[in-house]
Amino acid sequence: MEENTVEENSIFKTIDNYLFEQMGILKKSQFAEKMTDTIRSFPEEKQILLNQASNILILFLPLVILIIFTIISVIQSASLADQKEISNAMVLIKENEGKLNKLINTYTARSVIEDKRSFVDDFTKSLERKGFPTDKLSIDNYDDAIRGSSIKVVKAEISFKEIANKSLKTLLLEIQNIYKAKITNLKINKDIKKSRLSGSLSIELLSKAF
């Protein structure tokens, strides 16, 4: 409270000093001399009223100026508070956006799947890089649907024939690790004589929709 009083007194003193300086300059000006001569030409009663009015104006002018400064200060403070609130909101939005993107990347395929053709091309090329015989593979019953605004659910049935145990392992790891798909209806038939596997499985995965 004492600090506020000292600060207010300092403001009043500064304003008073400024006003007295300006009044001193004004009194020495030609305009002031003309005004003084004009006032002197008035009747004595009007001169007294004018002097009283000027004294009241001088008395309350510092207060009026202080009120104006206070209003400006409050407006600026509110503006700064709004800017800070907006800035904090933007930071929060960016943080949540980062968390959402991280969550989406955790559960969606690495590649964006646009349609069946893009899925088949991307899937077979990825398997070829791992040495999988893609001529032994077929993809059928493809279906996709948008969920929300940015996620696509992809379903398909994958069939394979006469592949080695190693190739089946490659296929399953690729589906789970790269495409992060859920595997259902896994059916495997083994040709004991040839040591080859044939069968099918259904997959369901999530992809970014854009």
In the chain, % of residues over pLDDT 70: 53
Strand (E) positions, 37-181? 137-147, 151-163
Residue 120 reports pLDDT greater than 90? yes
Q: How far is CA 51 from CA 33, 45, 47, 54, 154, in A?
A: 15, 10, 6, 5, 90
Fold of 116-208: Alpha-Beta Plaits (3.30.70)
**pLDDT for the residue 185:** 92
Structure tokens at 122: 């991307």
pLDDT level of residue 111 (50, 70, 90 thresholds): confident
What is the C-alpha to C-alpha distance for residues 161 and 159, in angstroms, rounded to an integer? 7
C-alpha radius of gyration, the chain, whole number: 42
**pLDDT for the residue 129:** 92
pLDDT level of residue 150 (50, 70, 90 thresholds): confident
pLDDT level of residue 69 (50, 70, 90 thresholds): low
pLDDT level of residue 102 (50, 70, 90 thresholds): confident
